[in-house]
Amino acid sequence: MPEVVIVTGGAGFIGSSLVDALVARGDLVTVIDNLSTGHESNLKHARASGAAFVNADIRDAGAVDGVFSRVSPSVVFHLAAQIDVRRSVIDPAHDADVNVLGTVNVLSAAYRYGARRVINTSTGGAIYGAADTIPTPEEAPARPLAAYGTSKLCGEQYCDWFRRLHGLSTVTLRLANVYGPRQDPLGEAGVVAIFCDQLLAGQAPTVFGTGAQTRDFVFVEDVVVAQLAAASATVEGIINIGTGKATTVLDLIGAVGRAGAEEGAPSMLAPTVFGEPREGEVEHSCLAIGRARDDLGFSASTQLVDGLRQTLQWVGGHRAQRGAGAAD
């Protein structure tokens, strides 16, 4: 049976990949997005296949209510967020406005119009901070270093509050470092997209710190598989979504170079620029994945080099579109 679905943040990097998968399986999808970082072009194929797009801000409770009252979704995927960690530190009020108040508006409307399930999107690394245990399990203490981690944690707690008080079925997926097609190569968050762009531009990648810091890089299509599994499941609470494997930034650069060689791209230059470590960044981040395996039957199946190859192909197309070749 097709589901009636609302995806907030559906014009963004992860959200639009999810929307494509939902449309492909025949669901009736409405996207709510204010296009602050997302792009309508990400929804080109989905809209051609019947997905609806509403340009609205989740901070606007009336607008959110209006969409939910028209659509009456059975499932809500909540991805819309202020995701810029540094902006969250400079302007924590704006960060909280979107990530806390916006989340409350979405949850209130989901409850009011009878959604059977809300899949909330949160973050592992930014919530666990400098964790004692790596890979880090869900029960580890939350020690956010940036306001972003605090606001996402607060959003999770509102999910739990709606569940306890109103019986709204919610599950929160704490994502690791997601990479893949449609991640902004000019943004701050996507180190993989940035390295791919630098490779194709023939530039040496910039590494902040020694490059020995580690991250858990999970491919966006694997995240979508986890999101779909979370919608069908009944389990509630918090579930990490990652690979459980730690990759150093220097190893990532090597892997981007190898994927590039397979794609016929120029050779990856050695990182010549080692910048100062970034304030507020944790040294090591990797998520324990036992709960995702046990409760969702999920494990990430994409090998890093395969995901990187697909990312490089997309970044190459994106560079061609923005005319970067001429500008570089």
- The DSSP string of 55-98 is E--TT-HHHHHHHHHHH--SEEEE------HHHHHH-HHHHHII
Encoded one letter per residue, x for contact with ligand NAD by CB under 6 A and - for no contact, window 236-275 reads ----------------------------------------
For the segment 69-98, give every residue that binds ligand NAD (CB under 6 A). 79-83, 98
Asked whether the beta carbons of 207 and 269 are under 8 A apart, the reply is no
For ligand NAD, the binding residue among 20, 27, 57, 222 (CB under 6 A) is 57
**Least distance in angstroms from the C-beta of 297 to ligand NAD:** 21
**Closest distance to ligand NAD from the beta carbon of 113 (Å):** 18
List 74, 103, 151, 177, residue binding ligand NAD (CB under 6 A)? 177
- The helix/strand/coil state of 6 is strand
Nearer to ligand NAD, 14 or 168 (CB): 14
Q: Answer yes or no whether residue 307 interacts with ligand NAD by CB under 6 A.
A: no
Token reading at 166? 């109103």
Nearer to ligand NAD by Cβ, of 189 and 196: the residue is 189
Q: Which two tokens stand for residue 216?
A: 């858990």
DSSP assignment of 114-174 equals T-SEEEEEEESHHHH-S-SSSSBPTTSPP--SSHHHHHHHHHHHHHHHHHHHH---EEEEE
Which residue has tokens 């061609």?
Answer: 320
Indicate which single residue of 58, 100, 228, 265 sits in contact with ligand NAD (rule: CB under 6 A): 58
Is 244 or 265 the residue whose CB approaches ligand NAD more closely?
A: 244
> Is residue 109 near ligand NAD by the rule CB under 6 A?
no
C-beta atoms surrounding 211 within 10 Å: 15
How near is the Cβ of 172 to ligand NAD at its closest, in Å? 10
177 near 217, Cβ under 8 Å? yes
Interaction of residue 189 with ligand NAD, rule CB under 6 A? yes
**Alpha carbons 120 and 70: distance in angstroms, whole number:** 21
Per the DSSP assignment, residues forming a β-bridge with 207 are 274
State yes or no: residue 67 binds ligand NAD (CB under 6 A).
no
- For ligand NAD, the binding residue among 20, 27, 33, 197 (CB under 6 A) is 33
Span 194-223, contacts to ligand NAD by CB under 6 A: none
| Burial classification of residue 160, based on how many CB atoms lie within 10 Å of its CB (0-12 exposed, 13-18 middle, 19 or more buried) | middle
Return the active site residues: 148
| Binder among 12, 144, 205, 316 for ligand NAD (CB under 6 A) | 12
316 binds ligand NAD (CB under 6 A): no
Q: Which two tokens stand for residue 137?
A: 């399990």
d(CA 91, CA 85): 10
Residue placing its CB nearer to ligand NAD in the complex, 14 or 109: 14
Cα separations (Å) of 165 from 162, 169, 239? 5, 11, 21
Give how many residues touch ligand NAD by CB under 6 A. 30
Residues that bind ligand NAD (CB under 6 A): 9, 11-15, 32-38, 57-59, 79-83, 98, 102, 121, 123, 152, 175, 177-178, 189
